[in-house]
């Protein structure tokens, strides 16, 4: 019994010492953080309003730049695209100006999320992605402060942007991918947004399967405000990329096979008129194939309510292959009634009429989809 009590007392003492060490570690960590903030040049700024706007009463100019590093994915079904890039913000805050001779350094650098979030003190613009389609991931941050108070903030971000796509000419479609930035929480009379020029060859090395990218630009734009922002319009910076679909994959996997199947179904006009079951078998195989391809399209296109070229091509294939079934019945009935010559005339007409109708309708749907954009 005494042994058990001694063991329990020893265990309690060990647990107490462990807790004391943990508390001491937390106190030391908090002290180091407070010491770092206290020693920060920004914390010793003359103005007590170091967290307010740099120049109250005068709009603070923020220059925004964006260097696109890559587009990870473009989803036609979700109408989104994922991108990675370096966001740069430049503004001037006289309150954080310093004497380089006194500090012994030409600039102050806060590197990494810990130094930026916990050590650096001062105002900085909070940028949001207006057309955000998912969580924004930040994998790196750096803040440079020059002697005159000019602050340069760089962040590497990975995000998903969403937009409305016009899919009428799919798979021969072209889209303007847009990344729209805005300053959070400030009116235009408080913060004035500017954009920095970008390199023309910024997207030359970016490759995305099934897509061709060109003509990138960064422009100052505007977007509708919200009730919370108490403004009808807000300043935005929009990075645009022209993305053109490389349609060979869709043509090889869907449109070309579907056209071949449709043309092969018209071979019933060369078959014996008395073999009704064989002719209908060919027709129904084509019809079921068209239905199956419509299910495939659901996986590569968003559920749009308007008419697209791909939908039109499949509907035309389905209708013309379905039209061969009543023709088979009519020709077979004429053969039973001894009107073989009339049945032969229908078959000969169908040999050129159906392919002509098919290609003419495809061209008309393509032109309609192009003009409707």
Give 350-353 contacts, CB < 8 A, sequence gap 24+: 350/266, 350/269, 350/324, 351/266, 351/269, 351/270
User: What does the pLDDT average to over 258-265?
Assistant: 90
Q: Is the pLDDT of residue 355 over 90?
A: yes
Model's pTM, two decimal places?
0.75
Q: How confident is residue 360, by pLDDT bands cut at 50, 70 and 90?
A: very high
Average pLDDT, the chain: 81
* Three-state DSSP state, 243: strand
Among the ranges given (6-15, 114-123, 189-198), the one the predictor scored with the smallest mean pLDDT: 6-15
| Beta carbons within 10 angstroms of residue 191's beta carbon | 19
pLDDT in tens, 54-63: 777 788 899 9
The pLDDT of residue 242: 92
- CATH class of the region 60-246: mainly beta
d(CA 50, CA 37): 13
Which spans in the chain are helix H? 2-39, 100-103, 112-114, 248-250, 256-265, 276-298, 309-336, 340-371
**pLDDT, position 26:** 58
The residue extents of the domains of the chain are 60-246, 249-371
* Residue 37 pLDDT > 50: no
Predicted local confidence at residue 29, as pLDDT: 53
The order of strands in the sheet holding 233-245 is: 127-129, 174-183, 233-245, 211-224
DSSP 59: P
Cis ω before 171 (30° cut-off from 0): yes
The more confidently predicted of residues 292 and 360 is: 360
* pLDDT score of 197: 85
pLDDT attached to residue 221? 87
pLDDT, position 321: 92
pLDDT for residue 24 is more than 80: no
Q: Is the pLDDT of residue 277 over 70?
A: yes
CATH classification (class only), 249-371: mainly alpha
pLDDT at 63: 93
The residue that leads in pLDDT, 194 or 43, is 194
Least confident of 83-97, 160-174, 199-213, 326-340: 199-213
The pLDDT of residue 361: 92
Give pLDDT, residue 177: 92
State yes or no: pLDDT of 41 exceeds 90: no
Check residue 226 and give its pLDDT.
Answer: 66
pLDDT, residue 367, reads 87
Average pLDDT over residues 348-362: 93
204-208, 251-255, 301-305, 339-343: which range is least confident on average?
A: 301-305
pLDDT score for 22: 60
């Amino acid at each position: 019994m005494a042994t058990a009590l001694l063991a329990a007392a020893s265990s309690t003492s060990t647990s107490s010492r462990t807790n004391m060490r943990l508390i001491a570690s937390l106190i030391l960590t908090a002290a180091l953080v407070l010491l770092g903030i206290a020693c920060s040049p920004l914390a010793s700024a003359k103005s007590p309003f170091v967290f307010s706007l740099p120049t109250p009463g005068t709009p603070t100019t923020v220059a925004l730049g964006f260097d696109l590093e890559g587009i990870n994915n473009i989803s036609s079904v979700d109408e989104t695209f994922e991108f990675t890039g370096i966001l740069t913000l430049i503004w001037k805050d006289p309150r954080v100006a310093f004497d380089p001779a006194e500090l012994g350094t030409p600039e102050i650098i806060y590197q990494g999320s810990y130094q930026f979030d916990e050590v650096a003190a001062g105002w900085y613009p909070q940028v949001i992605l207006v057309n955000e389609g998912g969580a924004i991931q930040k994998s790196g941050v750096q803040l440079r402060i020059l002697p005159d108070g000019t602050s340069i903030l760089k962040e590497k971000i990975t995000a998903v942007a969403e937009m409305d796509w016009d899919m009428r000419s799919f798979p021969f479609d072209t889209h303007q991918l847009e990344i729209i930035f805005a300053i959070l929480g400030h009116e235009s009379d408080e913060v004035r947004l500017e954009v920095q020029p970008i390199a023309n060859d910024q997207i030359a090395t970016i490759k995305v399967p099934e897509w061709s990218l060109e003509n990138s630009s960064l422009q100052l734009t505007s977007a509708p405000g919200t009730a919370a922002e108490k403004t009808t319009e807000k300043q935005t910076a929009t990075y645009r990329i022209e993305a053109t679909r490389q349609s060979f994959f869709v043509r090889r996997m869907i449109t070309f096979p579907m056209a071949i199947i449709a043309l092969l179904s018209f071979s019933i006009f060369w078959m014996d008129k008395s073999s009704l079951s064989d002719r209908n078998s060919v027709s129904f195989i084509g019809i079921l194939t068209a239905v199956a391809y419509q299910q495939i399209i659901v996986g590569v296109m968003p559920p749009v309510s308007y008419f697209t070229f791909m939908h039109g091509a499949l509907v035309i294939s389905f209708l013309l292959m379905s039209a061969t079934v009543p023709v088979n019945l009519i020709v077979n009935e004429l053969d039973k009634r001894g009107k073989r010559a009339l049945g032969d005339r229908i078959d000969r007409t169908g040999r050129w009429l159906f392919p002509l109708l098919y290609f003419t309708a495809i061209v008309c749907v393509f032109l309609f989809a192009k003009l409707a954009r």
